[in-house]
Amino acid sequence: MKMESKGLTQSLCKAFEILACFTPESPVLRVVDITRKVDLTQSNVSRLVNTMVACGYLERLEDSGYFQLGKQIISLSSVALNHSELRKQALPELFRLEQRYEVGANLAVLHEDRMYYLAHVDSRSSPRMYTMVGYTNPLHCTAIGKVLLSAMKDADILALLERTGMPAFTPHTVTSADVLMDQIRAVRKRGYATEYAEHAAGSACVAAPIRGVSGKVIAGVSISGRFCGGAMREREEEAAAIVTEAAALISHKLGRI
């Protein structure tokens, strides 16, 4: 996470850079690991880390030399999540989708050229041992991602793809901007998006847009996995009707007429 320096407090910026070093792939780090990631000396990193431990934003793992994010981060995350009106209005619908159809249900928004999970409800048949909230995924190969892209102007979509690229995750990932734009036009026409094993092998997902008061797309809701015991591709229209109805209900609860 690089920041423009003008008018900013450098030590605070560096502290935020240190926090950003902790990722799902690197949840625990040593001072030497952090030093390799930020433009600071090891002694400066050590002082900042010790300060962040004292304030509760990092925790030292006993006798290991490793650090992890502290409980103060969890507390702040809870404040942010509980304050989100979008998440508050969407969660009951996500739970209804899972309880009625036994599928995973997701809520995500656009953040820094990626889709960002605000809420997730696991399918009871395949519960996860971790939370999806706060995770991000690319836009070009996910159903919610395509929904979010469909709300953008074509020129803006192409500019975004130029920035992010279109990496392949499976043999089914679309890596051509022309092919993706054809998919986006189909999303705009029918009102929902699909993803079949484009981001992960064996995955299936159907998503629809959530709109705010002005009618602008502000998020996407999706269901993923198997649908009512059958393959989602075989029951795409049924799945699309269900997720579109949930998206419309969430939009209405947010003030969309």
Query: 210: which 2 tokens?
Result: 């959530």
Radius of gyration of the chain (CA): 20
Of 207, 195, 199, 226, residue with least CA distance to 125:
226
Domain spans of the chain, in order of start: 10-75, 84-253
CATH class (in words) of the domain with range 10-75: mainly alpha
Q: Return the residue matching tokens 């075989």.
A: 234
Per the model's pLDDT, the better-predicted residue between 60 and 11 turns out to be 60
pLDDT, one tens digit per residue, over 128-183 is 667 788 889 999 999 999 999 999 999 999 999 999 999 999 999 999 999 999 99
The number of beta carbons lying within 10 Å of the beta carbon of residue 52 is 20
User: CA-to-CA distance for 220 and 214, rounded, in angstroms?
Assistant: 16
pLDDT, one tens digit per residue, over 195-228 is 999 998 888 999 999 999 999 999 999 998 765 4
Which of the four CATH numbers 3.30.300.180, 3.90.79.10, 3.40.50.150, 3.30.450.40 does domain 84-253 have?
A: 3.30.450.40
Does residue 2 carry a pLDDT above 60? no
